[in-house]
Structure 1
Amino acid sequence: MVVVQGSKVTLPTPCSLSSPLHTTSILFEPTSLSLALTHSDSSLSLYPSFSPSSSSSSLPIPQTLIPPPSSSSTFLLLQSSTNPNPSVLFLVSSPHRAGSQILLRFYLLNPKTNAFAAVPRVLCSQRDLRFESKLGVLLDAKHGASLKLAGSVNYFALYSVSCSKVWVFAVKMMMGHDHEDGIKLMRCAVIRCSRPVWSLSISFGFLLLGEENGVRIFALRRLVAAKRVGNSSLKNLSSKQQQLPNGVVGRDRHGGRDRRHGEGVLEATCNGDTEAKVEKHGVAVKQTNVKFKHDQNDGGACFVALKGNEIETKSIAKVSMSVKAISIQALTQRMFLILDSLGDLHLLRLSNFGIGVDITGHVWQLPHVMKVQSLTVLPDVSTVPQTAWISDGCHSVHMFSTADMENALNEADANNDDQKLMHLPVIRVLFSTEKIQDIISIAANSVLILGQGSLYAYAIS
């Protein structure tokens, strides 16, 4: 017998100078059970050790309230071989000096006090990075209208649409002589983009960029290799070199070796175009800490296209509609769930990945259950998730099984039919009396639903 347990938690409504604030989105970190609420004025409330089953009917005013403005935020874990217990870090981005700089604020969860506090010191000695104790870390780059953050274990990625760049950073815990904790921040790679990136994800050693009509996949280990060898820039292509549809420059269609320039640094493009020159439409990957052997063929990136949608016109011809990959969630080490801008779901499976092997992938479109507005899967820092949750943005949330997705993939492989939609059964459907703003997975069988002023927690057993 299936038992569904539900509880309602009323959210606090901090008051601004003009009117009470309401919560617009939620984040959850499963290792520490930390909850982050984003309010309508872009301020954030942090709650460590959040447990819906033991909570009272309403949440208290948080111990840690992060003042506005904020543009994006994410949790990330800091792990090391010497400390088996990971440290939990919360990262917030903000504009600074009228948007001429990007401000990064770090908040560390103290296990002794069970509270988040601003990190007292950040070591960052690289160019364009500066730490100010009363502010945070300043990155000399334009903030612009939109930023995206994605965190994982020891790494996070930052995308600025105005700069057309994706930065990849590594973070490491430090202990000072005064036993005051701090962190070390290192910029590992910069990806220059010629087209917009609509979503970011770092999961299971991969950096995934959601683009128009597809997803770009980078091997994170290749981007953040240990030895610094300098930067170089690809200015000209020889007639023998090709710019492939997946964006990689210099690798031929038959698996030939890449051509590299300057100290063994691989030159690649992202958001590439098969007809244009690199200078105009390509994207150079500037890797500050990358080491490659000239005889190494480790397949650092690939592009996997989503199947375009077609619309009927007055003529006989059909016109393809472009779609944007607006959300990417990891299901397992090799499977990812993708939500596009039309509300359709796609299942991406990677294969042939590893050191010395090219990354390849394949995408299947899932059945049209409904027009999906949001999706959530348990983050990859815990055990392999067993469920995925999707919402129509109105009053329903649907639950799927990862095992069913694996079975559907195996059936599709057996039939060798990419055109047929996979059959994917819905396990459970939850209904909310309030219109749904956001959903977040908190366990393999549990989900948080943000309504209009209330938080609902559901567990299925």
Structure 2
Amino acid sequence: MSSSSPPCEARQLILPKLLHTSTPHLSSLLFDPKSSSLAFRHFDSSFSLYPCVNPLTLSSFPSPQTLIPSPTSSAAFLHLQTSPESTTTLFITCSPVPRPPSSTLFRFYVLRDDRFGKIKVSSNHRDLEWNQSKGGVVFNTHHGVSMKLSGGINVFSLYSVSNAKIWVFAVRLIVDHGGAEALKLMKCAVIDCCFPIFEIRVLFGFLILGEEKGVRVFPLRPLVKGKQRKEKKSGGKRLNLQSGSSNGGKTMARDGDSIKLRFMKLRQDSKHTGGVFVAFGNEDFNGSVSVKMPGKSVKAISVEALSVTKFVILDSIGNLHVLCLSSSLHGLDTCCVMKQTTQTMKVLKMAVFNDVSTVTQAILTSEKVHDIVPLDANSILILGQGIYQF
């Protein structure tokens, strides 16, 4: 940092001893800037949730109000845009269900009154069933060795390594028959994977896949809308899929016809919905396969958003790349640019501040870093040797 930079301060934050796990040490963390909520992942794969917390005012963390038991394979924050001025924060986890037939369990926690609590979920899909005893939705698909969740606004994705598939889901708030708040879970699309995936993110209306030699980008809107089929006419309203919602799988078109939204199936290399592969090295390879290059395989392992159309990508050998997309959700194959940044050292972990217009410095550490998240424009939380610092 330059000589004119303000002084930096760092201190440790003490974690509580938890009864549900043998060690307070953590393997990773998630931070939601919209609600200032933290999720701590322990080495036994359980989670501790801290809603609306400011680590800058703490010397140690209190015992969490919400504990999510192990085994938990993946988790993510999700935001429901209920109106232009109102956003509801959800925390989603997935876990294996060991009893035959093997399946996957989704648990949903909603933030209300500065506390995360479980919320009931309904779905019209036969392979998504609410299970009261398990406190979640059983997804009738084999969990396998690894699952990866990524949440956005009204939409989240699930990637299964064993099944080589990506599912795209939409969520909305409803009122159940008893008058209580609940969630409606809708399965929108499934992508059959034909190339290895090393990162998956739902960011600003795009589904971004980290692959060998570059990234693959799908606009989310066509995936959420799915296939449409007109049925008989009846008076109705226009379709609004900005929130990824529909009325029981049906909505109304402009001409009054009833439109049936159908689950979409496609391949990873499909261009049907506007997907495109963008290679490293400032070369736009929008063919159906990842680029074959001699020598060591370079993989996209981390993706963060700089703006709604600009993303920074970390590859497996420590280089940073900036991906610029078209502001339109269509025609990505003609408006994608990938450039490698100028840097003097290799990068192992990266994080992007929420307001990138005010970040002009770099933070370097010689300690082994397990995870890193920005809290605001002036502070960052680092998970070192099992201890939190900022």
What TM-score, normalized by structure 1, do the two folds share?
Answer: 0.68
For 1:8, the aligned partner's letter is Q
Whole-angstrom CA distance in 2 between matches of 1:70 and 1:58: 25
The separation in 1 between residues aligned to 2:310 and 2:20, in whole angstroms, is 43
Q: Secondary structure at the match of 2:356?
A: coil
Per-residue CA deviations over 1:173-225 (Å, capped at 9, x if unaligned) read: 11236442211100111111112211111111111111111111011111112
The count of residues paired between Structure 1 and Structure 2 equals: 344
Equivalent residue, structure 2, for 1:408: none
Q: 2:16 aligns with which of 12, 15, 21?
A: 12
* 2:38 is aligned with 1:38: no
Identity across matched positions, percent: 43
SS at match of 1:222: helix
Tell me what 1:220 maps to: 220
Counterpart in 2 of 1:128? Answer: 127
Aligned residue for 1:233? none
Deviation at 1:455, TM superposition (A): 1.5
- Structure 1: distance between partners of 2:384 and 2:193: 36
Aligned 8 A contact 1:352 1:358 in 2: no
Distance 1:319 1:355 in 2: 32
Amino acid at match of 1:435: K
Post-superposition CA distance 1:390-421 (Å, at most 9, x none):
xxxxxxxxxx64xxxxxxxxxxxxxxxxxxxx
Shift of 1:226: 6.7
Tell me, in whole angstroms, the C-alpha distance in 2 between the residues paired with 1:264 and 1:171: 16
* Aligned-partner Cα distance in 2 for 1:95–1:265: 24
Partner secondary structure for residue 386 of structure 1:
helix
Matches within 5 A, 1:7-406: 7-15=11-19, 19-55=22-58, 57-81=59-83, 84-97=85-98, 100-111=102-113, 114-119=114-119, 121-135=120-134, 136-176=136-176, 178-225=178-225, 228-229=228-229, 269-270=267-268, 272=269, 300-307=274-281, 319-351=294-326, 353-355=328-330, 360-378=335-353, 384-386=355-357, 401=360
Identify if the C-alpha distance between structure 1 residues 162 and 94 changes in structure 2 by more than 3 Å, giving closer, same or farther.
same
Any runs of at least 4 consecutive aligned residues in structure 1 with deviations exceeding 6 A, and if so which?
A: 263-267
Whether the 8 Å contact between 1:167 and 1:189 is mirrored in structure 2 is yes
Distance 1:268 1:192, change over 3 A: closer
C-alpha change, 1:122 and 1:359, in structure 2 (3 Å) is farther
Query: Structure 2: how far apart are the matches of 1:431 and 1:356?
Result: 41
TM norm structure 2: 0.80
Structure 1 residues 451 and 65, CA, compared in 2 at 3 Å: closer, same or farther?
same
Residue identity in the other structure for 1:42: S
1:128 CA displacement: 1.4
Measure the CA separation in 1 of the matches of 2:229 and 2:191: 17
1:441: which partner in 2?
374
Q: Deviations over 1:52-107 (max 9, x none)?
A: 2222x2111101010000111100111123x7321110001111125821111111
In structure 2, stretches of 5+ residues that fail to align are 231-260, 283-292
1:126 offset after TM fit, Å? 1.0
Name the CA distance, whole Å, in 1 between partners of 2:180 and 2:79.
19
Q: Deviations over 1:344-378 (max 9, x none)?
A: 21111113634577563111112343222221124
Give, as a single letter, the amino acid of the residue that structure 1 aligns with 2:115.
Answer: A
Shift of 1:449: 0.7
Structure 2 residue 379 is matched with structure 1 residue 429 = no
Tell me, in whole angstroms, the C-alpha distance in 2 between the residues paired with 1:264 and 1:360.
29
Aligned equivalents of 2:156, 2:90: Cα separation in 1? 11
Letter in 2 for 1:321: K
Q: Deviations over 1:280-320 (max 9, x none)?
A: xxx698xxxxxxxxxxxxx6211101239xxxxxxxxx943
Aligned counterpart, 1:451: 384
Aligned Cα RMSD in Å? 2.8
Instruction: Give the match's secondary structure for 2:222.
Output: helix
CA displacement at 1:123 relative to structure 2:
1.0
| CA distance, structure 2, for counterparts of residue 284 and residue 102 of structure 1 | 29
Gaps of 5+ in 1: 231-262, 273-282, 286-298, 309-317, 388-399, 402-426
With over 3 angstroms needed to count, the CA separation of the structure-2 counterparts of 1:166 and 1:456, relative to structure 1, is same
Q: What CA distance in whole angstroms lies between the structure 1 residues aligned with 2:129 and 2:347? A: 41
Q: 1:336 to 1:284 in 2, by over 3 A?
A: closer
Deviation track 1:101-138 (CA, whole Å, cap 9, x = no partner) reads 11111111112xx111111x101111311111222111
8 A contact 1:70–1:93 mirrored in 2: yes
Query: 1:386–1:444: 8 Å Cα contact kept in structure 2?
Result: no
2:326–2:332 Cα contact (<8 Å) kept: no
Deviations 1:227-274 (A, max 9, x none): 6439xxxxxxxxxxxxxxxxxxxxxxxxxxxxxxxx99998642x4xx
